[in-house]
Structure formats: structure tokens, C-alpha cells
Structure 1
């Protein structure tokens, strides 16, 4: 009877604590349970890593007013008052910028030819938090810029066609627009180069009986200028 006293004391001690503690402290399987717990912890999956996103190729934009050669400006915008162009306002010149030129070539009794040329640049960085690369963002912007050109208020006879040889992908949007009591012919080239989007618009009309420019002629000249603008992006990042 004396020999069983320690055993009775142990049983009473275990009975005096909560059931969960009995299982943890008094069970004969406590050692094996601890081992199982440690094993489960080591087998837990690793925390998810942030997705890898390709870095944007271009980190800079060219000066918009220097993106097209002066000789090209002379050819496309005769009579322009400023070959250096007029820069558009931008709160972040590393991500967006624009420039425009306009001129009236007065031929006296033969009438006059008016031309307007503008170019704009957009650049996109990669965003690791959204798992989106700069190029993917530029692809989305490219589609939006085309849609915007096609939806120009008052535009008539809107037509789109590929513009081969300009950047990674490019589209021409042609239309006519009535303003200042004249019919203007438009050619807009929207191009994507890596993580950048270039939109170039060239339009014109004839005054005082002069013949209006054809869409084909304007498009040919617009493509030429767009190629220069697109190339200037890569040059700015060398």
C-alpha cells in the first residue's frame, strides 16, 4: 500500500488540471506528439514569392521637339514659323511628352497649303506588385490610343490599316474633319516600341482654291516622320 502512494498522487495531480494539459503533460505519447508537430512545421509550404516581372527596356524618352529631323519638318510643314516646334506641357517628362509644328505655305493666287504635325510619347515602367511588365502596359495603351484616334469627335470616313516598318507594331488611322469651314485630311500613326507608345498626327487642307492633300500623300509623309520619332526613343536610351 505504501508503494502505490506515489502513483495515486500522480493520478490526482493530473486530474486537477484541464483536460488539454493532461493530454500534453500527462500523456505517455507527449514526446511523439512533439515530434509530429515539429515535422508538420518543417513540411509547411514556403511563403509565396513575388512574381518576377521583366524590367522595362526604355527608362527615358527623347525630347519630343528633337525627335523629328529639321529637314523632315521643312518638307512636311512648309512655312512653319518655328522648326524647333512647340513643346506640350508635361508633369513628368520621363513618362510623357509632346511637340507640335504648324505652317501656312502661301502661294498667292494659286492658294495656300496649311499643315499641322504633332507627336506625343508615352512610356511605361514594369510593376512587380501587379505582375505587369512595362511592355504589357504599353500594349494596352497602344490599343487605347488607336481607339481614341478612331473616336475623334466629328471625324468622317474613318479607316484603319497597318503601318508596316514602324516600331514593333503600328496602325494608321485616316479620316476627314470639318473645321474653320474647311475639310481637313488626317493621318494618325500610332506605334508601339517595347514599353513606349508614339502617336503622330499629320493633317492639312488647301485654302483659297488650293487642292486638299490626299490621304495617301499625308499617310506616306506621316509614316516617314513616325519612323524617325520611334527611332529617337531607342537613341535616347543608348
Structure 2
């Protein structure tokens, strides 16, 4: 049966993308009240309130989060190895990049893969909290959001050691347009930065369904690389 790889790619690229939570801004809309007493010691001699400074001041370029070898391994027939960078109104606070791959194996069907990475950084702000605390809250929301993906089946969440300060991998099965997808989302917090990596795959037109264990292992490796990139971006 004649099939068009380009047509399959265009139909499934969007369908395969996991829903990513909207990242909040790192800044604060609050302004100083102008009350000098808020910045000066009180009559009793107590110090002004403080908050621990954020560790990371900037983010890496999202499309540079992974090495060329990693992209080649996870998305072997990638459309554009340089990735497609998401829009952001503040590149120091949040950013994302994605890659898609469709490998046509002839009579054996096709293999589709989707990889994306998202970064969210928080500053420390008096009256709001430290960057680490704010990132920890967002980390929890990302994990909860991945576990609650609509129509997901066989959802499992496991703590992942050796990546950042804390990391959780969420795996699940889901059907899109009649195709069975295996999905892995790895959420990592490293100090005041949260990294979210999504990696999924499907066998199309008779292709074999990818092995969930391999997708998980590859996603965890990619998440570790993306977290290290955040540290390197800050020297």
C-alpha cells in the first residue's frame, strides 16, 4: 500500500505532542510600598527581612540542550537537527525546543518520535519566596500535570536519582488518531530551574510499537543532559 511519509508526519506531529503546562513568569508584579521602615532595621534592632539569592541567573539556549549525538539517537530521521525553538517573551525565564522524526521502513511501517525540552527559571523575591522554593512548587505542578494527562493509560511515576536536586519520570500509554503512543515525561529541578523533557514514539502503518523501557531510559539520559546544560550556562 502506497504511503506518504510527509503526510504522516504532518498529521501526527501535532497529535503526538504532550500537553505542556504553561510556565509562569519569573518576575513579580509587586512593587515597593515606599515605606522606609520596610528597608530599615526596626527600633528593636531587628534586621530587615531577606531571601536567599537564586543560584542560576540565566538559561541555556533550549535548542542547544542536547548534543548532536543525542538528537541522532532519539530522533534518527529528524526533520531539522537544529530543532524548533518555542516563542518566549523572556528568554532568561523560560524557553523550549522540539524535534520530530519519521523513519519510513517500507513494508514494515514507520517509526515516529517526538522530543521536546522546556526550561523554567525563578528568581528569589522578597514576599514571594526563594527561587528554589518557587521552582519546587512548579516542579510539583509539572509532575501532577503529566500524571493527569487526558486519556492516558497505565500511568506510572517513579523518582529518578542522579539528575539535579530532584527528578520524577512519568510514563503512560495514549492513543492518537488510532495510533498507540508510548510516552515518557521527565521533570527535573536543579536549584531554581525546572527542566521538563517529553519523549514519545509510535509505530505507524504496521510498525512495531516502541519499547517503553527504552524510551524511559533515553528520556532520563536526555533530561540529565538538559539539566547539566542549565548549570553550564551559568558558568
Q: What is the TM-score with the length of structure 1 in the denominator?
A: 0.79
Which of these residues, 74, 86, 108, is aligned with residue 106 of structure 2?
108
Distance 1:47 1:108 in 2: 78
Residue in 2 that maps onto 1:217 = 214
Distance 1:47 1:99 in 2: 50
Q: 1:83 aligns to what SS in structure 2?
A: coil
**Alignment size in residue pairs:** 194
2:189 aligned with 1:192: yes
TM-superposed CA distance for 1:93, in Å, is 0.6
TM-superposed CA distance for 1:235, in Å, is 0.5
Distance 1:83 1:180 in 2: 26
Residue in 2 that maps onto 1:156 = 153
Which of these residues, 199, 202, 224, is aligned with residue 205 of structure 1?
202
Deviations 1:3-59 (A, max 9, x none): xxxxxxxxxxxxxxxxxxxxxxxxxxxxxxxxxxxxxxxxx9437543221100000
Gaps (5+ residues) in structure 1?
1-43
Q: RMSD over aligned Cα, in angstroms? A: 1.3
Residue in 2 that maps onto 1:88 = 86
Deviations 1:196-230 (A, max 9, x none): 00000000100121111121110000011111100
Structure with greater helix share of residues: 1
Distance 1:45 1:236 in 2: 43
Which of these residues, 160, 170, 173, is aligned with residue 173 of structure 1?
170
Segments ≥4 residues shifted beyond 4 Å: none
